[in-house]
Structure 1
Amino acid sequence: MPKIETEAGYAIPPAPRHSITVHLPGWYNATRFRDRHLHPTLLGELKSMYPRIKPHPDVVVGQSPTAPKGCLLFCTRETAEECRSFALDPRRPETVLTEDQISIRVFDVESRFFAVIIPAQKMMSIIPFWINPGLGISSRMAEEALGKIELLREVNREEEEKGMPVREESPAQGVLRERIVGLLERAPVGKREKKVQPGDVYLFPTGMGAIYGLHRLLLKRENKGSVLFGFAFHSTIHVLEDIGPGCKLFGKGDDGDLDALEKYLEDEAKEGRGIQALYTEFPQNPILNTPDLVRLRALADKYKFILAVDETIGSFCNVDVLSVADVVITSLTKSFSGYADVIAGSVVLNPSSSQYSALKPLFEDSYTNEFFNADAEALEKNSRDYLTRSHILNTNAARLVEYIQTRALDPSSSVAKVLYPTVLPTLKHYTPFMRPATDEFTPGYGCLFSIDFASVAATAAFYDNLNVHHGPHLGAHLTLALPYVMTMYGHEQLGFVGPFGLMETQIRISTGLEKFEALLEEFKVALDAADKAKPEEGEKVESS
């Protein structure tokens, strides 16, 4: 492949205005991102970034780093008030604000914005609420508002109480619901009493927004804790822990954790307590273990909790979990969109679930559609070729894993192991939920895998010599590599995440649409460089 020439801090090509990626080439830049608290100017240097991590330039336009006030912008009063509650939560004593330090002001630019305003120097204390729940305004909403900035006006409480400005839903949102239903009902697995209908599909501004949206609606029904089974994407545990009474983590997600979960549920029941929901990823990001959904379903039936399955990594072209899940969560940002220029999420209620009669009224009464029309239109266009792209993503990932696995089996190789459903013991939990092949599409195992190296030196050498784009995101049109664990968790949390299989020596790979032969040659070069790398003095070398 041609040498990657994208500049550090810029989006991967074609880098449109609403790109959600950033290219951070090489191990040095990865360590800078890991140690970003030591590099306070780093985020400012990035011309593009995932907009939950760093607000898009259109969102923050007009705010100056030296201004006395900073703000976060949301689409509804409810979300703004939840941000305010987060800022005042005494469980976070090191960052908690006082009542006089935070206010909410409301503005109209034909659309309505709710601004949570705090002293600028305190912004880092509430930025987790922007990052994790993922309900801040989108870049396209901000772009539209900037185009009408002369219409900006503040709204008083009396006017606000009269209701929000009416914005008709774009036809694209209806098309997306229909498309998602068609994919969920295509080549189904197992028996279901009822088919999913478009009205069972709820759209959200981000994938994390979908998780947070479900979680906060369930808290309205019962203020009970949750369980996260198997380690999940970085922000999920924060949402479940920070909002509501808390979350119990079973981070390995294996048979041992299933036994421990069953004992936990039994003990809770004896004390007259229980959980409201269990969340799990299918498979898990970034270690690709697949949970035993059959056994989780049995526990959900016995202890009457909601089983919410995030199948983003498997993706609903490949897997069908509706025979067991009460709720299916998907980050539509990933392979469903596929072009790294729009963020979105969905929650689908399973009409065959025994929980449906309780969940459906809850959503009908309390769900607010915060998904912006222009984002829906971009997503609808992107997802038209979802199946075609997914075939290429599946094939590239599976064939690369097949080759790298041969290196892992060589005792002299720097590759300690490959993490992908096909080469892990938990494959037995994945295959029962694979859709049958049709003339239209043959299912696979997704675009994401991780490589665990024998040493940090080998990991760095591989990363420095891998000629693909480096940065966060998955399911894009171009291949992306990232030392996910190192950059997301840093030195401080390695001791916490290590027992769950998340290692500093891992590189997460999301395959793109490039020709396989070209990708394979690039990986061979990088793997050869890793094999030649010598561990640093005193570094522990893992056995392969």
Structure 2
Amino acid sequence: MPSQEIGLPIPNIPHAVSVTLPTWEATVGYEEGEDWVVSKMITGYPRFFIHAVIKTLSQKIESKYGREGERCMIFPSYKVAKRCREFIKSKSDLEGLFVRVLQLSTPPPADEEEKSTIIQSTIGVVFFPASQFPLAKNYWQHSGEGISSRMGEYVLKALFNNIDSTRSPSPPSNNQLGATRQEVQAQRIQQKSPSISASFRSSSMVAHEEVEKEFNTFIEQKYGRVLDLKFAKEAKIALRRRISGKVDKSHSQKEEMEKARRGKNVSETDVYLFPSGMASIFFSHHALLKISTEGPKKSVCFGFPYVDTLNILKKFGPGVHFLGLGDDNSLDELEEKLESGEFNIMALFCECPSNPLLKTPDLKRLRSLADKYRFAIVIDETVGNFLNIHVLPFADIVASSLTKVFSGDSNVMAGSIVLNPSSPLYPSLKQFFDEEYEDLFWAEDALWLERNSRDFAERAAKIDQTSLKVVKLLQDSPLISKVYHPYIGSTRPYYEAIKTPNGGYGGLMSFLFHNPDHAVHFFNAVNLHKGPSLGTNFTLACPYAILAHYQELDEVAKWEVDRNLIRISIGLEDPEELLDVLQKSLDIASSS
């Protein structure tokens, strides 16, 4: 059964992406820092909650290399650490602030055999006065460029323990496995097509049996994914080909994925991998600021976006014009201000569709304005995903969070950028990426993501089909006042204009109740996983505005984001069981 225990990782493994906030009250308590919630938080979404293993690594580095009164933040390169240092110094009110950067490296493999378990890695460590930690944490959150928990775990072992401890425990022998081999196989089948009752039987099993670190590692490898670091380069090539549409059919990709090509001119060399989806947004903005021939200019954020996209545009560079409604009237306003000269912009950022209101912008009209007034368009296609929609012709840069449905397993953070070879900015962008891009995507994370994404097409199709059934259930309920989904609403024609021939409408939806109390009762009663993130193989719900915008609920209401909004990301459960769970919760809300 989905866990309803505050702070438990979702799934219950060491490198989980989501975390359980099982009630409306617990979500509010988390946002207000109440001890009854915060004290139980084992983990959290990785950009907002620094993983325990990274905290331990930070403490050890502070103890060994820090000076009195200093704290540190760890990044996967010296160059990223310098960007963090610049951010802290530019935003701090402290005069004469001294921020320093230290570079540390782990040992390389000694021979060919060790390449399977040992990889040389470099980290950049930013040291700053303890009072400046909130600013350093802001950079970590907004940029998405922090080290992953797997990288932190590896570096911790390599720098502060015997290097042999970096090797993963050997898989159990046949005698040790016994019936476990059958259980693991059954769990893998359940994970790919779980029922509500069975989808997290493995989680409770892990919680019960998670006795030692060796077993934790085995649980992550229970699907036959024994990680061999020497294959990380090949894994990244496979990922870039998968994203570009140049699919290797030997990996059992479906015909639909082959058809959903980015475009005949897109090469795998136009695809760049990042440690998180937000890092891809951040680096897109960073690149455009650097290549601007007229100097840095403001950008436009078109439509209400995920919170840190707007934070990046506000806090890095000269600022942002926010057209938060993202509708046709907003487009009219944009065109008028471009024509009058009031707006002289570097770029326009938008989501397709947007999160959480699932609006699709008029990309054709936006592209026409971009060509006329010579600004870049960056499209975040995470919610739609490139199997469902084809946005590259309208974009100079396409950014995605691969953490979501591309991975599905909620156990790895990743992002990507695709450059459009037909863009007028392509030559300058390509040159900048060739000179400045760093591959910061940790080897183990790449191996996990490559395996997770092999059945991306099949999973996405099933999620799309189930989602339409859930949308209908919500629309038919007399309790629900509004449902947000690309299949319905005024912007559906714009979605249809970019939908691929075999594409669907995605698994994300939001909805409102006529009575806000019903929203609380429904959420508390619904027997689903509840926490941050989306695109997971299991259905995941959250009170979105409370979770993402608790400190600015009145402000976001101006952009039609209601404080009582519930967001659900549909998973791979049996559709009828999922509908039954939702209906029972609606019935409970109705009788409350």
Q: What TM-score, normalized by structure 1, do the two folds share?
A: 0.86
Task: State the match for 2:74 in structure 1.
Answer: 73
Q: Do structure 1's residue 61 and structure 2's residue 56 form an aligned pair?
A: yes
Identify the match of residue 418 of structure 1 among 479, 483, 497: 483
Question: Retained in 2: the 8 A contact 1:329–1:345?
Answer: yes
Question: Retained in 2: the 8 A contact 1:108–1:152?
Answer: no
Question: Retained in 1: the 8 A contact 2:26–2:37?
Answer: no
Shift of 1:97: 3.9
Q: Do structure 1's residue 531 and structure 2's residue 531 form an aligned pair?
A: no
Question: Retained in 1: the 8 A contact 2:20–2:531?
Answer: yes
Q: Distance in 2 between matches of 1:254 and 1:485?
A: 20
The secondary structure found in structure 1 opposite 2:404 is: coil
Question: Retained in 1: the 8 A contact 2:379–2:398?
Answer: yes
Q: Do structure 1's residue 465 and structure 2's residue 532 form an aligned pair?
A: no
Q: Do structure 1's residue 28 and structure 2's residue 22 form an aligned pair?
A: no
Identify the match of residue 330 of structure 1 among 379, 400, 407: 400
Task: State the match for 1:160 in structure 2.
Answer: none
Task: State the match for 1:428 in structure 2.
Answer: 493
Shift of 1:189: 8.8
Written as runs of structure 1 = structure 2, the 5 A alignment for 1:22-421 is: 22-36=19-33, 39=34, 42-63=37-58, 68-90=69-91, 96-110=93-107, 111-150=121-160, 170-182=233-245, 186-187=258-259, 194-222=264-292, 223-268=296-341, 274-407=344-477, 413-421=478-486
- CA gap of 1:40–1:170, structure 2 versus 1, over 3 A, is farther
Segments of 5+ residues of structure 1 without an aligned counterpart are 154-166, 408-412, 438-442, 534-544
- CA gap of 1:174–1:97, structure 2 versus 1, over 3 A, is farther
Shift of 1:149: 2.3
Task: State the match for 2:513 in structure 1.
Answer: 453
Shift of 1:370: 0.9
Q: Distance in 1 between matches of 2:290 and 2:543?
A: 38
Shift of 1:188: 5.2
- CA gap of 1:62–1:40, structure 2 versus 1, over 3 A, is farther
Task: State the match for 2:567 in structure 1.
Answer: 508
The secondary structure found in structure 1 opposite 2:147 is: coil
- CA gap of 1:510–1:332, structure 2 versus 1, over 3 A, is same
AA aligned to 2:385 is S
Shift of 1:354: 2.4
Question: Retained in 2: the 8 A contact 1:109–1:151?
Answer: no
Q: Distance in 1 between matches of 2:528 and 2:323?
A: 34
Identify the match of residue 486 of structure 1 among 546, 550, 557: 546
Task: Please give the per-residue CA displacement for 1:187-218, whole angstroms capped at 9, x wherever unaligned.
Answer: 3599x6x5210100011110000000111111
The secondary structure found in structure 1 opposite 2:497 is: helix
Q: Distance in 2 between matches of 1:41 and 1:374?
A: 35
Segment drifting more, 49-58 vs 68-77: 68-77
Shift of 1:396: 1.7
Q: Distance in 2 between matches of 1:77 and 1:234?
A: 27
AA aligned to 1:305 is F
Q: Distance in 1 between matches of 2:146 and 2:95?
A: 22
- CA gap of 1:498–1:102, structure 2 versus 1, over 3 A, is same
Shift of 1:349: 0.5
Task: State the match for 2:557 in structure 1.
Answer: 498
- CA gap of 1:451–1:304, structure 2 versus 1, over 3 A, is same
Instruction: Looking at secondary structure, tell me which structure has more helix per residue.
Output: 2
Shift of 1:88: 1.9
Shift of 1:169: 6.1
Q: Do structure 1's residue 12 and structure 2's residue 10 form an aligned pair?
A: yes
Q: Distance in 1 between matches of 2:565 and 2:498?
A: 27
Task: State the match for 1:162 in structure 2.
Answer: none
Question: Retained in 2: the 8 A contact 1:189–1:433?
Answer: no
Task: State the match for 2:576 in structure 1.
Answer: 517
Shift of 1:183: 6.8
- CA gap of 1:513–1:120, structure 2 versus 1, over 3 A, is same
Q: Distance in 2 between matches of 1:152 and 1:229?
A: 51
Shift of 1:69: 3.2
Shift of 1:453: 1.4
Shift of 1:414: 2.4
Shift of 1:168: 9.8
Question: Retained in 2: the 8 A contact 1:486–1:503?
Answer: no
- CA gap of 1:150–1:511, structure 2 versus 1, over 3 A, is same
Question: Retained in 1: the 8 A contact 2:232–2:447?
Answer: no
AA aligned to 1:330 is S
Shift of 1:6: 4.8
Shift of 1:182: 1.7
Question: Retained in 2: the 8 A contact 1:326–1:350?
Answer: yes
Question: Retained in 1: the 8 A contact 2:260–2:386?
Answer: no
Task: Please give the per-residue CA displacement for 1:473-493, whole angstroms capped at 9, x wherever unaligned.
Answer: 101111110011112111x41
Question: Retained in 2: the 8 A contact 1:140–1:374?
Answer: yes
Question: Retained in 1: the 8 A contact 2:57–2:152?
Answer: no
- CA gap of 1:152–1:292, structure 2 versus 1, over 3 A, is farther
Q: Distance in 1 between matches of 2:38 and 2:449?
A: 27
AA aligned to 2:83 is E
Task: Please give the per-residue CA displacement for 1:194-246, whole angstroms capped at 9, x wherever unaligned.
Answer: 52101000111100000001111111112121111001111100011101111
Shift of 1:125: 3.1
The secondary structure found in structure 2 opposite 1:202 is: strand
AA aligned to 1:502 is V
Q: Distance in 2 between matches of 1:188 and 1:476?
A: 21
Question: Retained in 2: the 8 A contact 1:456–1:504?
Answer: no
Question: Retained in 2: the 8 A contact 1:202–1:347?
Answer: yes
AA aligned to 1:72 is M
Question: Retained in 2: the 8 A contact 1:189–1:435?
Answer: no
Question: Retained in 2: the 8 A contact 1:88–1:98?
Answer: no
AA aligned to 2:578 is L
Shift of 1:100: 3.5
Question: Retained in 2: the 8 A contact 1:107–1:152?
Answer: no
